[in-house]
Chains A and B, each alone.
Chain A
Amino acid sequence: MLDSVKKLFRSNIRQYGMFIALALIMLFFEIITDGTLLRPLNITNLVLQNSYILILAIGMLLVIITGHIDLSVGSVAAFVGAVSAIMMVNLNIHFSLAIILSLLIGAAVGAWHGFWIAYVRIPSFIVTLAGMLLFRGLTMLVLDGKSVAPFPDGFRAISTGFLPTFGGGSLHYVTILIGIGLSLLLIVMDWRKRLLDQRYKLEVLPPVFMIVKLAVLVAILNYFAFLLASYKGLPNIFVLLFALIVFYTFIMRRTIMGRHIYALGGNEKAARLSGIKTKKMTFWVFVNMGVMAALAGLVFAARLNAATPKAGVNFELDAIAAAFIGGASATGGVGTVIGAIVGGLVMGVMNNGMSLVGLGIDYQQGIKGLVLLLAVAFDIYNKNKSS
């Protein structure tokens, strides 16, 4: 029994390594901040503070899997935020139309980058470095160097609103119900997969482990639902993020398109000779990145309630760091959406925790740099050991 637990642990350590690291970091800060970290208010803030980085990290992950990089996302986010402000504040366009237009602008920017990278074959580092400068300049031009504010309330609700609820009392019942609903969904899906695996005679976890695993997951899920419910409930942005994570995980793991993206990053020449339209695929990955950058820009502008020329500075670095901490490979072909999210949360929790402790920004930057280096070193060490 003990042996099989050990074996199970060892064979899955790489898969769960980042989750364990995140849990340990959270535990560490929970202790040294005397329980401030996991307070409902702080958890809500933590997600709000990092939402735009997490959105960028998803897009960046796809770019990194194809073996490219995108340095322009911070500037693009700022640019789209600025244009949306002009549309909503100066031109009084309704916010829902402005959002759609902004996302289309993001797609166009992505197409611009994708064209040079996929069809002219200029290295993405150079194309997006140029984009970083170009769109920062355009942002300042659009805003005339000044901040534009305030946004309409409907727009701000993206970043600052919470799901509606019913009933009175201090608990947000909708959040609790969602927590329970997701738990049931998780159990049903896991069970179905288990049955299917058994039908194909695959090795499955012993029932005890499966029950323990599900119990732990359900407990964590409902604990967080409860934490959030005891503040203001589920933030809108949380729902958006969750939808994005599920959607992109699904695309990357289950669809032909996802397979093609991994193959393209793993060996472009072999992928091309297997009938994959590699140029087109690269192009669309950058279009997608543009849309995600636009979305991040909107979320950030809504949170700040202003579009500023300095918005989004260094966002690209955080997004890239998130993907790498989450196990993506710099040479392409490897990485998972959930990994990038965990990587982003590791950075976010550390930012938040260190601020709570009152550590200066100088130390924070340095420590984050070291964590990035150590995370990737740990990953490479593990890979070498396993091969």
Chain B
Amino acid sequence: MASNLLEMQAITKTFPGVKALENVNLKVKEGEIHALMGENGAGKSTLMKVLSGVYEFGAYEGDILFKGETCRFRTISDSEKKGIVIIHQELALIPQLSVAENIFLGNERSKRGIIDWYKTELETRELLKTVGLDEKPSVKAGSLGVGKQQLVEIAKALSKEVKLLILDEPTAALNEEDSENLLRLLLSFKGQGITSIIISHKLNEIMKVADSITILRDGKTIETLNVHEETITEERIIQGMVGRDLTHRYPLRTPTIGDIGFEIKDWTVYHPVQSERIMVDSASLNVRKGEIVGIAGLMGAGRTELAMSLFGKSYGQKISGTILKNGTPIKVPTISAAIEAGIAYVTEDRKEYGLILMQDIKSNISLANLSSISRRYLVNDHQELVEAERYREKMAIKTPSVHQKTGNLSGGNQQKVVLSKWIFTEPELLILDEPTRGIDVGAKFEIYSIIHDAASQGKSVLMISSELPELLGMCDRIYVMNEGRITGEVAREEATQELLMKYMTRGRD
């Protein structure tokens, strides 16, 4: 068996008041893909920060052995010199700089302080070929999609002669196809002797590529599983992560479905800037009361564009088509009109578009429906507090108080605040855009329960998701989109991942 490339022994890291890591051990063998798993807040990222030198030696206890020698990293560049490179969850490319400039940023190919652009160009081409990215080195990083940017990040890591590549949630923002590509790339690196540590919430991906899996929970190592020595099921991993048996990943529900609540006919939307580019192409769909309807599709299929254009025309231009509510056409020219009409839209990016992070929980919850707790134009602070407390209890938002700033909450709790905010507007159509993105397994279950609850109150729920199992587990009916068109409609009974995938990639005839 191969020897250990990395050993982290008895790592303990304390923040004021919290033990983030306690006696954590991690052994990574040479040439393997090692998955690090755990719920949000389990300590995965902290452990990787210790390893890469973000927390300098002395700020933690324990030892790091890399290739058998003890390492004391003071800065990130110390660890990079050894060949340990971390790619963070949030991409760190500078959009205004070219791909080549980004790859060699801080590591410029130069002679006596003057950059050698020919060498930069040539090496960039080589690197791009290695990661399979067909773009010119002079292209601006910002003009690339998330999937391609991720590849540039990896090329950047390769330029540093990486021995151990750490990827923190590399596929969180990628669609299925780009994720597949990335995983294939990881496997090919493995063939070239590069060891990787991958942090991910997506169990199916881990199952595909990982050789061993270390599970963290509450800052402690729970176990390390070897995929080749024993058969490991997804349930087995989840059990390790949450410490309880999650036989049902989706809560049980018996849907009571009523009449059609909302219907959209021939909905067409053009790109807000490029006025000739069609983003949603005569889409028609309906959602019944108490029904959860999914929208599947690859990234760029037009799902978010459809949702946002329905929500008070908050996206696009030259929008045409009809929205029918209970059979009568309604007009929703602005977002406030949409809210008035009973439409709520929970965005996919809760930090950027959903929350005011510097404000507390109660102000965030009340924001979209201040008039309900106001008399004339005066906000009733006390009533606001009562409502916020009610939602804190109902949604099980874990916080010492509703005066807590939302910026200090975990992803799952932030999402509960956003959901509270929109359910507080008493919507009849609840549009959810990737409602569980970046949320750990335990919190996902709670979010699902909240969605079920909304449906059981007779709300129509429209749910966009890139995770097919989630759609299959949650929805009564699924529409599939591709290239702005609705390419299929699948009932719960006949829905399979294969069928959805087929519609998702069905092009124009």
A7 to chain B, nearest CB (A): 15
Interface residues of B toward A: which range?
35 or more
Main SS of chain A's interface residues?
A: helix
Q: A263 CA to B379 CA in the complex, in Å?
A: 14
CB neighbours of A272 from chain B (8 A): 314, 335
When each residue 195-216 of chain A gets 1 if its CB lies under 8 Å from chain B and 0 otherwise, what string results?
Answer: 0110110100000000000000
Asked if B378 is at the interface (CB within 8 A of a chain A CB), the reply is yes
* Contact B382 A200, beta carbon cutoff 8 Å: yes
Residue in A202, A255, A266 whose CB lies within 8 Å of B356:
A266
**What does the 1/0 interface line of B343-379 toward A look like (CB < 8 Å)?**
0010100001111111100010011101100100111
Q: How many A-B residue pairs have CB under 8 A?
A: 85
Q: Any chain B CB within 8 A of the CB of A360?
A: no
Q: Is the CB of A266 within 8 A of B358?
A: yes
Shortest C-beta distance, B26 to chain A (Å), equals 29
Q: A385's closest neighbor in chain B, by CB?
A: B16
Q: B499 contacts which chain A residues (CB < 8 A)? A: none
Judge if B339 is at the interface, Cβ distance under 8 Å.
yes
Q: Say yes or no: is A275 at the interface (Cβ < 8 Å to chain B).
A: yes
Task: Give the size of the chain A interface in residues (CB under 8 angstroms).
Answer: 29
A146 at the interface (CB under 8 A from B): no
Partner of A333, one of B311, B345, B359, B386: B359
Residue numbers in B under 8 Å from A200 (CB-CB): 382, 385-386
Q: In chain A, what residue has the closest Cβ to B336?
A: A275
Tell me if A262 and B359 are in contact (CB < 8 A).
yes
Do residues A273 and B347 form an inter-chain contact, with CB atoms below 8 A? yes
Flag if B368 contacts A275 (CB, 8 Å).
yes
Shortest beta-carbon distance from A327 to chain B in Å: 13
Residue A90 lies at the interface, judged by CB distance under 8 Å to chain B: no
- Whole-angstrom distance between the alpha carbons of A301 and B85 in the complex? 64
A376, CB-defined interface residue at 8 Å: no
Bound Cα distance A387, B405 (Å): 9
Q: How far is the CA of A200 from the CA of B368 in the complex (A)?
A: 23
Determine whether A92 belongs to the interface, using a CB cutoff of 8 Å to chain B.
Answer: no
Would A275 and B339 be within 8 Å (CB), given that A200-B386, A269-B352 are in contact? yes
* Bound complex: CA A197 to CA B381 (Å): 10
Whether B379 pairs with A255 at a CB distance below 8 angstroms is yes
* B377 and A275 form a contact (CB under 8 A): no
Q: Are B355 and A270 in contact (CB under 8 A)?
A: yes
Q: Which of chain A's residues has its CB closest to B345's CB?
A: A273
Q: State whether A273 and B377 are in contact (beta carbons under 8 Å apart), knowing that A196-B382, A259-B363, A387-B408 are contacts in the complex.
A: no
Q: Tell yes or no: B437 within 8 A of A by CB.
A: no
8 Å CB contacts to B: which residues of A10-34?
none
The reply to whether A259 and B379 contact each other, CB–CB distance below 8 Å, is yes
* Nearest residue, chain B, Cβ from A257: B377
B88 to A: closest C-beta gap in Å? 21
Contacts of B378 on A, CB cut-off 8 Å? 254-256
CA distance A27 to B386 in the complex (A): 43
The verdict on A259 contacting B367 (CB below 8 Å), with A272-B314, A273-B347 known, is yes
Docked Cα-Cα span, A199 to B353, in Å, equals 36
Interface string of B302-332 (1 = CB under 8 A from A): 0000000001101000000000000000000
A271 adjacent to B335 (CB under 8 Å): no
| Cβ distance B387 to chain A, nearest Cβ, rounded Å | 12
Closest to B339 in A: A275
Binary interface encoding of chain B residues 58-76 relative to chain A, with 1 for a CB under 8 A from any of its CBs, else 0: 0000000000000000000
Distance between B256 CB and nearest chain A CB, rounded to angstroms: 30
B156 CB within 8 Å of chain A: no
Residue A218 CB within 8 A of the other chain: no
Q: How far is the CB of A272 from chain B (nearest CB, A)?
A: 7
Beta-carbon contact of A270 and B354 below 8 Å: yes
Complex contacts, A275 vs chain B, CB 8 Å = 312, 334-336, 338-339, 368
Instruction: Please indicate the chain A residues that have their CB under 8 angstroms from the CB of B363 in the complex.
Output: 259, 262-263
Hey, what's the 0/1 contact readout for A243-269 against B, CB within 8 Å counting as 1? 000000000001111111011001101
Inter-chain contact B356/A273, CB cutoff 8 Å: no
Most buried by A among B336, B345, B353: B353
A355 within 8 A of partner (CB): no
Measured between beta carbons, the chain A residues less than 8 angstroms from B366 are 259
> Knowing A272-B335, A273-B345, A387-B408 touch, does A256 contact B371 (C-beta < 8 A)?
yes
- B368 surroundings in chain A (CB, below 8 A): 274-275
B356 touches A333 (CB 8 A): yes
Contacts of B405 in A (CB 8 A): 387
B421 CB within 8 Å of chain A:
yes
Q: Does A334 contact B (CB under 8 A)?
A: yes
On chain A, the residues within 8 Å of B355 by CB distance are 267, 270
Q: What is the bound-complex CA distance between A256 and B370, given in angstroms?
A: 7
* Complex Cα–Cα for A158 and B230 (A): 87
For A196, list chain B residues within 8 Å (CB).
Answer: 382
A273 to B359, Cβ gap below 8 A?
no
CB contact under 8 A between A255 and B377, given known A270-B353, A274-B367, A277-B336:
yes
Told that A263-B359, A273-B347 touch, could you supply 17 new A-B pairs with CB distance under 8 A?
A: A197-B382, A200-B386, A256-B377, A257-B377, A259-B366, A259-B379, A260-B370, A262-B356, A266-B357, A267-B353, A272-B335, A273-B314, A274-B368, A275-B336, A277-B336, A329-B358, A333-B356
17 A-B contacts (beta carbon < 8 Å): A196-B382, A200-B386, A256-B371, A257-B377, A259-B370, A262-B359, A263-B356, A267-B352, A267-B355, A267-B356, A269-B352, A270-B352, A273-B353, A274-B335, A274-B368, A274-B421, A275-B368
Give the interface of B toward A (CB within 8 A): 311-312, 314, 334-336, 338-339, 345, 347, 352-359, 363, 366-368, 370-371, 374, 377-379, 381-382, 385-386, 405, 408, 421
Among all A-B residue pairs, the 4 with the closest Cβ atoms: A266-B356, A275-B336, A274-B368, A267-B356
